[in-house]
Copies of this chain bind each other. A is one copy, B any other.
């Protein structure tokens, strides 16, 4: 997400917020964020939220996710919130929310659910 200009703005155990500022290559002709950008920032927020509950030697991979696109993703930036619903030994399940933020207003534009699997990085 770095090369898209995304940055983590809040990190707590089991919850991560990621902000993605609007950029021409992320938006359509009407200034809406592409569904692909909305999904990608949601997926990342869930992945990082899962990682907050594991030691640094662990990594996670997305097994699957489902997302409802509720409203046009309009805004100066998107704010994605990933929240861990269940952190198991092997699998983590997260709730995903994406808000369009503009002029101080904040509107839910997408909502999803994600399953991740923990993988341990090979020691170096």
A:48-75 near B, CB below 8 Å: 61-71
A:102-124 near B, CB below 8 Å: 108, 111-113, 115, 117
**Chain B: CB-nearest residue to A44:** B36
Verify B39–A115 contact, CB threshold 8 A: no
How often does this chain occur in the complex, in copies? 4
Which of chain B's residues have a CB closer than 8 A to the CB of A34?
40
Q: A64-B113, A91-B117 are in contact. List 7 more A-B contacts (CB 8 A).
A: A63-B69, A64-B93, A65-B66, A68-B85, A68-B115, A90-B90, A93-B111
25 contacts between A and B (CB under 8 A): A34-B40, A36-B40, A39-B39, A39-B40, A40-B40, A61-B69, A63-B68, A63-B91, A64-B64, A64-B67, A64-B69, A64-B93, A64-B113, A65-B66, A66-B66, A66-B67, A70-B86, A70-B93, A85-B108, A90-B90, A93-B111, A111-B113, A112-B113, A113-B113, A115-B115
